Amino acid sequence: MKKKIRVRTLLFGGVMTLLFLVLITRIYIVQVVEGAEWYERAKVRWSTAEELVAKRGTISDRNGNLLAMDTIAYNVSIDPKTINDEELADDIVNGLHDILGISKEELEKNVSAKKEDGTYVVNRELRNGGWQIDKATADKIREFRKVLAEEKKVTSVGIDLAESSKRYYPRKSLAAQVVGYLNREGEAMTGIEASFNEQLSGENGYIKYEKDGKRVQLAEGEVELKQAQDGQNVELTIDSEIQGYVEEALQEIVKKYAPKSATAIAADPNTMEILAMANMPQYDPNIYWKNNANSYNHAIKSLYEPGSTFKIATLAAAVEEGVFHPEEMYKSGQITLKGVPTPIRDIKRGGWGTISFLDGLKYSSNVAFVKLGYERVGEEKLREYYKNFGFGQKTGIQLGNELTGTINFRWQSDIARATFGQGVVTVTPIQQVAAVAAVANGGKLLQPQIVKSITDPATKTTTKIEPKVVRQVISEETSRKVGEYLEQVVSDQEKGTGKNAYIEGYRVAGKTGTAQKVEKGIYSTTKFVVSFIGYAPVDNPKIVVYIVVDEPNDPLVGGGKVAAPAFQQIVLKSLRKMGVAPNYGPDSDNAAKEVTMTVPKVTELQVAQAKAELKAKAITFELVGNGKTVLQQIPAAGSVVHPTQRIYLITEQKEKLSVPDLTGVSLRDALEITSLIGIRLIPEGQGFVVSQNQETLNNVRVLNVVLAPPTGDDTPADQQAVDSAEDGGADDQESSDEEQLDQSDTASGSDSAETPDNSTSE
């Protein structure tokens, strides 16, 4: 027995020793031989990573007002398993339907979603209607979730809210076609959002760290971090206030004439910075899916036969070539050209008799421009001028999908009709603005700019976009002369087709256009594109504006009646907003006219309300005090003052007031203001305050002011004036000669005769 026990013991010990050796060997292999491999595998299990999402850059106007930004949003998801286990399906469907507006059929489909094995899924995203909702909606869902859980006595109702971000457009439809939008997947679709997507997007980062079994970061663990690089901020050349003036004017056109579309561009002719670019109908990029078709930007993507506004290019060419003599006489009515089977006619059958070429410009005579462009400038030079003005080529504006337009001369009739903007000529609105800006600014064709600067938030560096001169098209002298001729199209209230664009006190140059549209190769007698383009002041242009209206509901109205009044409204407000003082032409009658405005009443209003009212009317103002209500205003309501007069809003009692800037104020108003404040005024000179200096004499506060007579150059640059499109405006009724379209002149085909004013195709 002892021997058997010894053998068994040895055998057991041998087996244990062998197992121990195997274990030691395995440990050695794992720890030493394969140690590095197993360590890497462990690190993978310990490690986790999180994406650091870059913030998309902002889009703002030239004054820093935000037009596009990122904001907090919430994504809704549901847990069908929990919902069905707790028998909450009907409650969830009804509740989310009421809050999110998702159809009950869609919700029922999501609530009952199952896996392939027949069990309910545990997570279902409500992307169609529950994605990127705002905080107010998210709060409603939280409240619904809380009430339902209490009512059903459950810990979870199967609704989850995850915080994320979304693109938000605080000004809604303002400049929406320019700004563009992102879709629900965050993809840039149109406008600046798409054209500058790379700069705006930035680059996502990440953080990798080691965690324990409870997913808590290890204090001594390795960390790998790559910071997200936020997108760059894009500042546009757009001025939100001028953009507002433009959109308001277009809305009035839409309300009155119900056109297919209406487009307007306002720009600084000296830099070609776009101050406003608008299209009607509008859309809100925050809810783009409701009216996405309205995101189309006609200003760069639509082609029109320009009609008589194109005559500006022909006129400039004729003046530059020395063949336009304003007092030279010619026979208006119609003209027959060799090789052209039908005569080209003026809008008025029979014309205006024998008139001067300057009167031909005022009446918008097609015959005059055929003689100037076709007969005198000639095909070769005419083609060169049109090309140099930028027609038939992209302008290079920083927006995608800009169209080129056409200038194609095939037949003699093509050349003749091109002189007044018909037939083979098609242009985009932005091309028209660039060309007329060249006429206004001394002859330089500039590349249109919609972006003013781009700022990198990481490096704090700003890249400014400088004006770019493409070429010199005409001389400065030609530019000056053409401006004076176009001024008479507006200022001559008897003959000028642009008389409804007249602004009392400002020198305005402009040209109307009324062009027929082509339908199935034939010029329509009922569908027109009407337009107006011009700039002001003539002697020192600050703004050029083009308005084009596609298919107004009245076939008997032209650009002078539809577009010119809108131009007047936009330019008047904009010049006053810019602080451009009224100026007068050489006409003694004009020089004798006094431009005034009536001060509105804003006393007793809340400061915010008063500011909004004055700002809407382009009236400059200054707050005096830190109160919340306007206690008094200077000048008083109903006062008749100069349009650039600043309005002072007194918001506190005099013992709390400090001395405001009185530059540009009359002596009477300065005395009233200082009396309210309780400070003694010591004036020197007569007229309006040009400087001031405060001091204390014998323990009494005094304000020394120097006054000088008003001049255009001395008017403070920051002064603005009243919103009144009709203040000093011209007669709203255009002459019957321009508006009465003679349908007997309507033609078809490429060799057709000229019809009323001109014709167009889209």
Residue 94: the pLDDT is 92
Q: In the chain, pLDDT over 90 holds for what percent of residues?
A: 44
To 5 degrees, how large is the angle CA 687–CA 693–CA 694? 125
Residue 293: the pLDDT is 85
pLDDT band for position 216 (50/70/90)?
Answer: low
Does 714 have pLDDT greater than 50?
no
Crossing angle (nearest 10°) for helices 429-440 and 311-320: 30
List the one residue out of 456, 515, 44, 540 whose CA is nearest residue 234: 456
Q: How far from the centroid of its chain's Cα atoms is residue 6's Cα? A: 100
pLDDT mean across residues, the chain: 84
Q: Which pLDDT tens digit goes with each residue over 314-334?
A: 999 999 999 999 999 999 999
Residue 737: the pLDDT is 40
Q: Is 60 a catalytic residue?
A: no
pLDDT band for position 223 (50/70/90)?
Answer: confident
Among 113-122, 173-182, 434-443, 562-571, the least confident range: 113-122
Does 747 have pLDDT greater than 50?
no
Average pLDDT over residues 687-706: 83
Among 201-215, 251-265, 507-521, the least confident range: 201-215
* Alpha carbons 562 and 552: distance in angstroms, whole number: 8
Residue 687: the pLDDT is 80
| Selection from 58-62, 418-422, 731-735 with the highest mean pLDDT | 58-62
Q: In the chain, pLDDT over 70 holds for what percent of residues?
A: 87
| Selection from 224-228, 465-469, 622-626, 682-686 with the highest mean pLDDT | 465-469
CA dist list (Å): 744 to 174, 336, 753: 43, 17, 11
* Alpha carbons 330 and 347: distance in angstroms, whole number: 16
| Active-site position among 201, 308, 365, 574 | 308
Residue 748: the pLDDT is 32
Does 154 have pLDDT greater than 70?
yes
CA dist list (Å): 624 to 284, 614, 666: 37, 15, 17
pLDDT band for position 445 (50/70/90)?
Answer: very high
* Alpha carbons 498 and 729: distance in angstroms, whole number: 12
Residue 179: the pLDDT is 96
Tell which wins on pLDDT, 733 or 295.
Answer: 295
Query: For the chain, how far is it from start to end, CA to CA, in angstroms?
Result: 116
Does 93 have pLDDT greater than 80?
yes
Q: Which pLDDT tens digit goes with each residue over 23-49?
A: 888 888 877 777 777 666 766 666 666
Q: Does the global pTM surpass 0.85?
A: no
Does 353 have pLDDT greater than 50?
yes
> Which tokens is 296 given?
């189309």
* Alpha carbons 538 and 533: distance in angstroms, whole number: 13
Residue 295's CB: how many other CB atoms inside 10 A? 19
Residue 718: the pLDDT is 36
Looking at residue 581, what DSSP letter applies?
A: P
598-708 classified as CATH 3.30.10.20:
yes
Class of the 69-170 domain?
Answer: alpha beta
241-586+732-759 classified as CATH 3.40.710.10:
yes
Residue 222: the pLDDT is 67
Task: Give the three-class secondary structure for 748.
Answer: strand
* Alpha carbons 441 and 483: distance in angstroms, whole number: 10
* Alpha carbons 512 and 402: distance in angstroms, whole number: 24
Average pLDDT over residues 646-650: 84
Does 513 have pLDDT greater than 80?
yes
Residue 54: the pLDDT is 84
Does 313 have pLDDT greater than 90?
yes
Does 698 have pLDDT greater than 80?
no
pLDDT band for position 762 (50/70/90)?
Answer: very low
Does 588 have pLDDT greater than 50?
no
Q: Which pLDDT tens digit goes with each residue over 601-623?
A: 989 899 889 988 887 777 878 88
Do the strands 700-708 and 680-684 form a parallel or antiparallel pair, or are they unpaired?
parallel
Does 235 have pLDDT greater than 80?
yes
Q: Which pLDDT tens digit goes with each residue over 1-27?
A: 777 788 778 888 888 888 888 888 888
Among 87-91, 582-586, 735-739, the least confident range: 735-739
